[in-house]
Structure 1
Amino acid sequence: MNIDFASRPVVAVIAVVIHEGHALLVRRANPPDAGLWGFPGGKIEPGEPLMDAVQRELYEETAVSARPIRVFNAVDVFDRDESGNLKSHHVLVAVSCEWMKGEPLAGDDALDARWVRLDELACQDLMLSADVERIADQAASLV
């Protein structure tokens, strides 16, 4: 079986920060899910430990510092063209994080960053990435 390395899934992290009943979300600037709201995160660099990657990506996208606690889920994100052909496949490793300091300020790959009340995730006029509500609820239950 010949596998094109470029077509393999890309492993990335998402920082799930729940603080005082709010989830930290960013509006993504780049694919996959450009324009949608989701958790801050991004690709793991070669040789970079997963927990270091989540701290780095969180800070780069939001200026928020948090302590990674644990991996608690993984989510597939498929980006397809108009014909349904697979353009990319990302596996997002969800890491619960404990807020330490900082207020959301969009940076790097984010168009916007903000705290959103957990009980308002479904009610907000935010276009959410798939699974955001489910992952936020799971992370909140771990606290």
Structure 2
Amino acid sequence: MSSDHSPSPVGPVAATLAALIHQDRILLIRRANRPDAGRWAFPGGKIRAGETIMAAAHRELAEETGVQGQAMQIFDALDVFDREPSATPLAYSHFILIAVLFRWQQGEPQAGDDALDARWFSNAELDSLDVAHSFDVVRVARRALTLAANQDQAGQA
């Protein structure tokens, strides 16, 4: 069996990311921690033992932005491999990120736990951002914006 990555010191870790939409914009945070510290990404984090995907996404959204949203659906999943700088070249962490689409309910974004900043961005602004490449931010953000727009159109029909 061959692999693109060397064995992880620990099995994959499940985590969520919250793609929160409000008025055709998506909420992103500037990450305080690695991987991709200082770059724009989604609010999110590890799923705790006994916690559901949706509960973890709600918790992380509130902790990192102070905003509340209504979870609509799981819409994507991606692998993130992060090599620890002090580790051997073969050691890395493997995260499986589960993307949850949210609709804004209340609150103004404020950087909280694990975030340096929290702001709304339009689709057009995504290309000019210094985004966290390991999280495939632009692709996932555009998919979330499209899903939300399609749901809006279906609701108006």
Answer yes or no: is 1:135 the counterpart of 2:129.
no
Percent identity, aligned pairs only, is: 50
Which of 17, 37, 40 is the equivalent residue of 1:37? 40
Structure 1 residues 31-85: Cα deviation after superposition (integer angstroms, max 9, x where no partner): 2222221000011110001111101100000000001111110111111256743
Letter in 1 for 2:78: V
Gap runs ≥5 in structure 1 = none
Gap runs ≥5 in structure 2 = 1-6, 149-157
Answer yes or no: is 1:54 the counterpart of 2:54.
no
For the structure 1 residues 50 and 81, does the alpha-carbon distance in structure 2 shift closer, same or farther, using more than 3 Å as the test? closer
Answer yes or no: is 1:88 the counterpart of 2:88.
no
Map 1:4-19 onto structure 2 (within 5 A): 7-19=10-22
Larger Rg: 2
Cα root mean square deviation, aligned: 1.8
Please give the alpha-carbon distance, in whole angstroms, between the structure 2 residues aligned to 1:18 and 1:119.
14
Q: Cα offset for 1:6?
A: 5.2
Higher strand share: 1
